[in-house]
């Protein structure tokens, strides 16, 4: 294999291959987080599973680092590397819906925008992320949190099967019936086990939703967080959404003199009977007086793309994550101390509920271990100006240090920074040793190590 040359790689692949001397290399090496600026030896824009197999074989033959990229949203920049190989699946974004079986099959590089557009045509959806440009692959493999998870479970709970290229270049289909151990690990274990070239999902009837954002004064933020926490006890599972913090962008529904001010935020998404929506969303207004809101009936994909403009590609990102079993008053106090320091309009802190259908899946049924958490918190530091990096990163770290004593030791792998690798066992708790066993079986040499890594 040592004489597996770049020319042979070009011959074996249908998609373009970029090295430093090729036009388009600088575009091909770019990832979403502009803080990450790496120079891979080769980027393969894969078009099919065969291209992926050829790319994996090339990396293995030359003993090079291999980065896998789908939607490119990895905050630690796992979708690229210096002097290694990038398998970029971004062009494998086709989504096929079967309305009879209510299933959809997405290419390994599809985004939630691609997915929702395809399924919405049939009045169907599954749990996906809250931003349309995030990749289906990376999000689902880490678990998958979104508006619909209280009713439908995590994205990975809706996965029926995955097409996988493993480290030895084999193509496998993993499901409840075949390679069950691999299928178990893929549902939460991240990109540790292979390149997923297609994902098959179960869909549910979700068409128009009722929801949108509401802003509350920071002086009411404690009441908003506590109100949301308490509401979950008896809220129907069709009521999704999350509380958080947000600097007001210059949007027409927000009074002009409040643009740039920091607010407590609730985004709601009622995915049940539309006529019930107004009443369900009105429950948020009981937390405190609403300063501004943009709430109403809309197609589900409209809510899924409503905040895309706040997080365009090419800004700086540094994030940290924690799970809480109980959002205590002390934890809320820690939020109130640090949230007012949000460094830019792009930054946010969200507390995503993990309950309802997510809790009905046993903790050992998939790799995603925190079935007893009630919230997944993300401190998402994002700003356009690299000059803000030091102060922004400090803000995220200090915020995390303040909530950590009130949180579980593990966090959601998809919301974590590159310097969180030391938390890997905590992230998977009792599932960790089984994940190591699956890793040893499918990737004994740790070819897939650019991720929150489960070392063999």
Q: Cβ atoms within 10 A of the Cβ of 330, count?
A: 10
Is 451 one of the binding residues for ligand FAD (CB under 6 A)?
A: yes
The piece of 5-13, 73-81, 384-392, 417-425 that touches ligand FAD (CB under 6 A) is 73-81
Is 191 one of the binding residues for ligand FAD (CB under 6 A)?
A: yes
Name the minimum Å distance from CB 93 to ligand FAD: 11
Is 213 one of the binding residues for ligand FAD (CB under 6 A)?
A: no
Name the minimum Å distance from CB 177 to ligand FAD: 21
Q: Are 180 and 32 in contact (CB under 8 A)?
A: no
Name the minimum Å distance from CB 416 to ligand FAD: 9
Binding mask 124-163 for ligand FAD (x = CB under 6 A): -----xxx--xx-xxx-xx-xxx-----------------
Q: Are 408 and 323 in contact (CB under 8 A)?
A: yes
Residue closer to ligand FAD by CB (options 288, 420) is: 420
Name the minimum Å distance from CB 47 to ligand FAD: 14
SS (H, E, C) 375-410: EEEEEEEEECCHHHHHHHHHHHHHHHHHHHHHCCCC
Q: Which of 9, 54, 89, 224 binds ligand FAD (CB under 6 A)?
A: 89
Residue closer to ligand FAD by CB (options 288, 435) is: 435
Is 190 one of the binding residues for ligand FAD (CB under 6 A)?
A: yes
Residue closer to ligand FAD by CB (options 36, 403) is: 36
Q: Which of 46, 66, 156, 195 binds ligand FAD (CB under 6 A)?
A: 195
C-alpha–C-alpha distance, residues 456 and 440, integer Å: 5
C-alpha–C-alpha distance, residues 59 and 78, integer Å: 16
Name the minimum Å distance from CB 443 to ligand FAD: 11
Give SS3 for 155. Answer: helix
Helix 389-403 and helix 329-338, axial crossing angle in degrees, nearest 10: 170
Helix (H) or strand (E) holding 291: strand 290-293
Is 343 one of the binding residues for ligand FAD (CB under 6 A)?
A: no
Span between the terminal Cα atoms of the chain, in Å: 24
Residue closer to ligand FAD by CB (options 332, 450) is: 450
C-alpha–C-alpha distance, residues 106 and 92, integer Å: 8
Q: For the CA atoms of the chain, what is the radius of gyration?
A: 21
Name the minimum Å distance from CB 241 to ligand FAD: 12
C-alpha–C-alpha distance, residues 197 and 63, integer Å: 22
C-alpha–C-alpha distance, residues 444 and 225, integer Å: 44
Q: Cβ atoms within 10 A of the Cβ of 438, count?
A: 22
Lookup result for tokens 């929702």: 116
Q: Which of residues 301-320 bind ligand FAD (CB under 6 A)?
A: 311
Q: Are 130 and 304 in contact (CB under 8 A)?
A: yes
Name the minimum Å distance from CB 314 to ligand FAD: 12
Total binding residues for ligand FAD by CB under 6 A?
A: 35
Assigned token pair, 78? 């796992």
Residue closer to ligand FAD by CB (options 260, 312) is: 312
Name the minimum Å distance from CB 3 to ligand FAD: 28
- Measured CA to CA in angstroms, residue 137 lies from 4, 36, 190, 353 at distances of 28, 20, 9, 21
Q: Which of 30, 57, 59, 74 binds ligand FAD (CB under 6 A)?
A: 74
Is 438 one of the binding residues for ligand FAD (CB under 6 A)?
A: no
Residue closer to ligand FAD by CB (options 55, 280) is: 55
Pairing status of strand 290-293 against strand 375-383: unpaired
Residue closer to ligand FAD by CB (options 45, 288) is: 45
Which residues in this chain contact ligand FAD in the complex, by CB under 6 A?
67-75, 78-79, 89, 108, 129-131, 134-135, 137-139, 141-142, 144-146, 190-191, 195-196, 311, 414-415, 450-451
């Amino acid at each position: 294999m040592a004489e597996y040359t770049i020319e042979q790689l070009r011959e074996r692949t249908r998609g373009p291959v970029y090295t430093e001397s090729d036009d388009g290399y600088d575009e091909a090496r770019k990832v979403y987080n502009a803080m990450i600026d790496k120079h891979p030896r080769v980027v393969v824009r894969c078009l099919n599973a065969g291209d992926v197999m050829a790319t994996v074989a090339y990396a293995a033959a030359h003993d090079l680092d291999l980065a896998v990229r789908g939607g490119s949203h990895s905050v630690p920049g796992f979708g690229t590397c210096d002097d290694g190989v990038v398998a970029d699946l971004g062009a494998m974004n086709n989504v096929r819906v079967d309305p009879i079986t209510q299933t959809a099959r997405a290419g390994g590089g599809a985004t939630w925008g691609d997915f929702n557009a395809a399924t919405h045509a049939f009045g169907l959806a599954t749990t996906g992320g809250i931003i349309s440009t995030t990749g289906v692959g990376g999000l689902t493999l880490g678990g998958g949190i979104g508006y619909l998870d209280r009713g439908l479970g995590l994205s990975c709970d809706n996965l029926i099967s995955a097409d996988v290229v493993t480290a030895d270049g084999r193509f496998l289909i993993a499901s409840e019936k075949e390679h069950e151990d691999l299928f178990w690990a893929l549902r939460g274990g991240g990109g540790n086990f292979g390149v997923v070239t297609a994902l098959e999902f179960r869909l549910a009837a979700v068409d128009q939703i009722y929801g949108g954002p509401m802003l509350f004064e920071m002086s009411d933020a404690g009441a908003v967080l506590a109100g949301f926490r308490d509401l979950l006890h008896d809220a129907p599972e069709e009521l999704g959404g999350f509380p958080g913090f947000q600097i007001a962008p210059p949007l027409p529904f927000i009074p002009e003199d409040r643009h740039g001010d920091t607010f407590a935020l609730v985004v709601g998404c009622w995915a049940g009977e539309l006529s019930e929506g107004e009443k369900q969303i009105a429950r948020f207004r009981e937390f405190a007086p609403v300063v501004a809101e943009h709430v109403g009936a809309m197609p589900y994909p409209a809510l899924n793309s409503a905040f895309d403009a706040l997080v365009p590609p090419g800004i700086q990102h540094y994030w940290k994550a924690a799970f809480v079993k109980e959002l205590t008053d002390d934890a809320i106090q820690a939020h109130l101390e640090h949230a007012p320091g949000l460094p830019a309009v792009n930054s946010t802190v969200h507390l995503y509920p993990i309950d309802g259908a997510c809790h009905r899946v046993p903790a050992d049924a998939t790799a995603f271990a925190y079935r007893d958490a009630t919230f997944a918190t993300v401190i998402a530091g994002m700003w356009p100006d690299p000059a803000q990096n030091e102060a922004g990163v400090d803000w995220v770290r200090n915020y995390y240090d303040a909530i950590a004593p009130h949180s579980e030791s593990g966090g959601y792998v998809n919301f974590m920074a590159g310097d969180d690798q030391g938390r890997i066992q905590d992230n998977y708790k009792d599932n960790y040793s089984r994940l190591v066993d699956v890793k040893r079986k499918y990737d004994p040499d740790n070819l897939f190590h650019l991720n929150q890594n489960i070392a063999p």
